[in-house]
Chain A
Amino acid sequence: MLKDKACIVGIGETGYCRKPGSGMSEEVLQLKASVAALADAGLKGKDIDGVLAFPNLGKSETFAASLGSENLRFAATIHMGGASPVASLRMAAMAVDSGAANYVLIPGGWNGFSGVRVRQTVTTDKNSIPGGAIAWDYYMPQGLTVPPQWYALMCRRHMHEYGTTHEQMGAVAVAMRKHAQLNPGALMCGKPLTIEQYMASPMLADPYRVNDCCLETDGAAAFIVTTVERAQDLGKTPIYIMGAASGQPYPADEFTTRKDFHQTGLTIAAPEAFRMAGVTARDIDFAQIYDCFTFEVIQQLEEAGFCKRGEGGSFVENGGIELGGHLPVNTSGGLLSEAHSLGLGHIVEAVKQLRGDAGERQIADAQLGVVTGWGDFGDGSIAILRK
């Protein structure tokens, strides 16, 4: 059992921007976030002996070389796109619990606005994701080229089977934007969004409007995991990993033929994580849900067990996922309204909430939080964290 065997002890961010761009390489961005995480934890680069680099955005060995991590013992990358950071959190916990490493760094960051855009990744490199070759041979020739188009197919089927509405998707966009107003670091702070403005937003990949889509931004974040024992000697309140799991939909490399079209990696991962933690969805004070698109929040709330499949739409309505609602979701504004931090920002925000460092958006007495990741054709990861 991995329950309560490892802690997050350091978090770091660079800050996020769009125009004119970060002006830094993706490597420098991630190193700056890593240095910030080390400082937060009270550690030095030489203490790091494990690095889990984000897919396609750097090599663990490169980070170790620059940080002076002379004792690198554990280096890997989990190829799950946006589900990678939370899956890496789990793998880091396994590594420190087993003794394979003492301090594991998980960096991630990019010039997602000023550099290569997401729309250019799979379409220019068939090896960029595990299902890339299938996308090249069977999706792209038919004009299906980018993630909002892939997921829109899942969304429309969900709308058909369960009656999920545009207004419910809009409730997700509005909630994330409200939270961003309380986060000075959010790109959309100072730019509120009403449901009327959302409904007037042009269609991009119907049923997805422009305002259903996350931001594209430059920036990086990082965090550090160590054992519970080592965490006690460091400066910050240790954040315990109570439960963590990752999973793949079946099949993971192709989504049109899935027998269960609504299955995601989270469908498999969430029950494992809750069982490990010994808590239920009802016990959770907040959730940071990977919000690449609005519907993916609804879908993950269902598959994570916060509500039944088909009830995600009503779960997010009427302020249900806003601060003060039954489950505040993405208190920083998320990918939709803070920045596209590749899912690392969701972990960072969960740590801030549990430490009580979330400023104006702080949830009173936050004890238990969930973080999810979503990537590629629906890969999933989840962690249940406590202070």
Chain B
Amino acid sequence: MSEYNKPLPGMDGLTKEFYDFCKDEALHFQKCTACGSFRHVPREMCAQCNSFEWEWMKSSGRGTIYSWVVINRALHPAFYDSNPQAVPMAPVVVEMEEGVRLLSNMVGCTPDELKMDMPVEVVYEAVTDEITLPRFRCSQA
């Protein structure tokens, strides 16, 4: 895994906590313990009620495709230098059952096969020893 040279998240604070859950193959989102709303990306305070009280809640891992972009020409060196087969790739916005959305990528699904509102479920890709990224596949249910 030492060859991985694509961008990686900064591993500190709440971002480290988010990705540490992914490493344990358990997608989590913050849930406000005062008003119950979920949020992503991680933040210190609930924007709905301004409470600082929250807990990590395990996600169902299920969602639907909200939008996507098919990148035919990578404009970042990590995505064309390291692997000419990297394109086309298709980052997707997934709307989760919890109501939050997150940006990810599909596995086992080509860009041509993407459809709006398609049900998907989370899988995990350990890209380095330290970091696992959440990815999605077509729902098996």
Contacts and interface: CB of A to CB of B under 8 A. Distances in A.
B58 interface: no
B91 A142 contact: yes
A254 B93 CA distance: 12
A143 B6 contact: yes
B108 to A, nearest CB: 16
Interface residues of B, number: 38
Contact of A145 (B7, B9, B100): B7
A251 B7 contact: no
B88 to A, nearest CB: 8
B15 interface: yes
Interface string B71-89: 1111110010000001011
Contact of B73 (A139, A144, A204): A204
Contacts of A160: 67, 116
Contact of A156 (B7, B39, B67): B67
A251 B72 contact: no
A205 B15 contact: no
A153 interface: yes
Nearest to A202: B72
Contacts of A148: 75
Contacts of B9: 136-138, 141
A153 B72 contact: no
A254 B75 CA distance: 21
A152 interface: yes
Contact of A143 (B41, B71, B100, B131): B71
B126 interface: no
A357 interface: no
A146 interface: yes
A212 to B, nearest CB: 12
B137 interface: no
Interface of B: 6-10, 15, 39-41, 47, 66-76, 79, 86, 88-89, 91, 93, 100-105, 111, 116, 127, 131, 133
Given A137-B41, A144-B91, 17 more contacts: A126-B10, A137-B15, A138-B9, A138-B102, A139-B91, A139-B103, A143-B71, A149-B69, A153-B68, A153-B91, A153-B93, A156-B68, A157-B67, A205-B70, A206-B111, A256-B102, A257-B100
21 contacts: A123-B7, A138-B102, A140-B7, A141-B9, A141-B127, A142-B91, A143-B79, A145-B75, A145-B76, A148-B75, A153-B69, A153-B91, A154-B67, A160-B116, A202-B73, A203-B73, A205-B69, A205-B73, A206-B111, A256-B93, A257-B101
Can you list the 10 inter-chain pairs with the closest CB atoms, starting with the nearest? A206-B70, A140-B7, A152-B69, A145-B76, A137-B9, A157-B67, A119-B75, A144-B91, A203-B72, A153-B67
